[in-house]
A and B are shown apart, each in its own frame.
Chain A
Amino acid sequence: MPKADGARSGVLPWVVWTALGALAAALAIGLVSARLGAGFEPASALDRALLLYGVGPRIATAILAGAALGLAGALMQAALDNPLAEPATLGVSAGAQLGLGLLAIAAPDIGGFAREGAAFLGGTAAVALVIALSWRRGLDPVTVVLCGMIVATIASGLSAALILANGDYLFALLIWGGGSLVQQGWGPAWAIGAALIAGSIGAALLARALGVLSAGEPGARSLGAPVAAIRTAALGVGVLLATTVAAEVGLIAFVGLAAPTLARLSGARSTRHVLLAAPATGAILLWLTDGAVQQFGTGDALPTGAATAFLGAPLLLWMLPRLRMADRPGASVRPGPRSSARLVALCAALALLVFAAALALGRGPDGWSIATGGDFLALLPFRLPRAVAAAAAGAMLAAAGVVLQRLTANPLASPEVLGVGAGAGVGLAVVLVTAGAASATLELAGAACGAMAALLLMLALATRSRLGPERLLLAGAAISALCLAAVNAVIAGGSAGAFALLGWISGSTSAVGPSEAIAGCLAAVVLIAALAPLRRWLDVLPLGEAVARGVGLELTAARAALTVIAALLTAVASLIAGPLSFVGLVAPHMAYAAGLTRPALHLAGAVALGAGLMVAADLLGRTVIYPYQLPLGLFASLIGGGYLVLALRAR
């Protein structure tokens, strides 16, 4: 759209952003004047205190935090040359949340700086881990984001497990997770302001070097630029900004991702311009959102941090077709020596072995035991449905992962990226909030409706605006963030349904009965079987658009069909295992790395491995902290994350 390009670099963006800024300011003035009497004096001592320690710092914090997150996102995206990079994708936010949760368990009575410090340490530890894991590969962008996703999923799984293991004791963590900007003093504003000043100086120093990097890594190397050092420094500054915001006000979704993207869409071309424009964009976004939340919200029922996703995600979705992005060939996974059906059989045998263990092994008041005879039969009704459902979920996620990774030629694509699993969560949330106590069937129906809604939205986007692989990922990430923000808002509301949703997010199989298990199994068989006739598409699509067209593939139809199947697979699986398991990412990787490169074998191997992984996760989840249970999704992500860490180190 060349015409739109011309308009974008002109006056229009300035007008739009000035108008948005003015709107934010108007909302803020409304809030301030509500506390002012005649002659611009506070109407009472109470109003004065509210202005000085509540309204004032909140405005400052919104602006500063928005700017800090915008800058953090811009730095991270420039450092990684990846439009999906932001504090969340690097594990920073999840790490900070885990740090806070751990402190609440270890020393519940410690307050003040210790809490902020724990969040900071957690975020820093997460990103340090990510950098350590990807160091050997020169902080290659794809590897960094992959590691970031592993670390983030493990950290948020552990956080959810902590909340579950302590009932409603971690109420504070819930609010914090929602990112509320309510203030009771100037401390957070000062802290974020200080970080922002430090970050701005860092960004100014790095802007030139990052500009050189953006011209391409080989070019930068040939100019003698220390590529890894520049990236580490930019990431470090971004992390400082993001963890300070996370520590002071909690998780603010989407600003770090949306601000630099919107800055580029508004005409910021060079790295320097993006670094300048992103903080301004972020500040206006957050200020406006916070004003709107206070104007239209009741109490703190919707935390600002969740509301930013409602503003930012649709904006991003709307602008996606207008986003300029090269359809780069994805970084490939190096396959092992090419191998055969015998390997698939081995994978299947392994999965069966794990399944048998899941039925026989258990832990009771007297320790581990292998159930035999009558006990085995008596326990079977509890163990069999879980194991079957877990196997079905693992198989479906693995199949969806194979489809998505081949469809997008992107090793980062995994079912959760589609946003369909998260959509199921919204459906579940609606059912739990409106019906209160809900039966399993009703929960299932709600989740399925939510999944279908997310799926239809994805499809509309994919077909109407002919999304290429990267845009599809970005659209999925936006929908996913939107849906998870909605679910988090319900959780932060603290209703009784919140615990059911927390359970769902971490992936708990404890409510699975025989009917759910049978349904899951049937869905797995039908949907995976439907993929068999499409395997040629899976072979051709990763080679790129040109090749696919060259062999006469109807691209739009092929993509739509595969997307539908992948979305259905994900929807059913997420009802069983939650949205956050790693199996859809790991199982296809494992199979591919083992040498199963042809589509049919890749699919079969991944399905067997996915089922085995998930069943093993369920077995461990119910035994490790008996009689308390860890959620399936958490253990799946721990196993999968462990594998990915090893795989990355080996390369």
Chain B
Amino acid sequence: MVRYVLQRLLQAAIVLVVVVTIVFVLERLSGSPVDLLVSSRATAADITAMSKYLGLEDPIYVQYGRYLLRLAQGDFGESFSYRAPVRDLIVNAFPYTAALAVAAFIFASVVGVTLGTLAAVRSGGRVDAVVRGFGFIGQSVPSFWLAIIFVMIFAVKLGWLPAFGSGGVDHLILPAVALGAFPMAAISRLTRSATLDALRADHMLFERSKGVSPSVFLSHLLRNASLPVITLSGIQLGELLSGTIIVETIFAWPGVGQLAIQALSTRDYNIVQAVVLVQTATFVLLNLLVDISYGWLDPRVRT
């Protein structure tokens, strides 16, 4: 088990380094931020001085080495446009993104697992048909369209919920449901098929014929059906994090996605790198946790 975890940790670190390197190279190719910072009357000497001040004159491997060194110390550098440490910007914005992703995830897993289990228990019935239709539609409707339609109906026409910005829980409902619809559909479909498989297993048939109480039966059933659902949920949570970018821009939600989009227009390298790094790290970490919990739930994986 320890070896398995170590192996997965190493793998996660490699993924991170690859992503950081690729993004670093891509962004250095995209042109200098100096042109955006200096005034139009700046002389060539001013521009050189500015480049030197920002460390952009050094060879690219020196810049890269310096960047990695600072990252290792938890320092994301300064933001050119905000003139503030990037770490502070991320620390301020990340809770918003996390809140949105977690809210969407709770919605998706609670509704998805409930619908999926219902459909499996009533397999072939009317509930099943409705849930399956729902699952297909939910997986086909893009989150940003759902977001716009929600704003049109619930904010503009009915005025029940705020259309944008952040504040109380009411600000979170529309973005979270729009973002959570796709994973909800995916989770409900997988829960349904996993529960059906578990119901058909011999030991479950035996339990049922033996006449165990419904609550014991249900807990055994869920435990057996949970493996694929947990794996999928982990993947979905990771995808939710990157899906927040587009939903954040629609609802003007002050998370890291919006921060990154704004930083790109000003070519604020450090912010973009930090956001990509934080998002990738979270994604990789979640996958790691899913793999480990998989080993914990299913003893057969522990080798």
Do A and B pair up? The answer is no
Give B residues with C-beta under 8 Å from A: none
Give A residues with C-beta under 8 Å from B: none
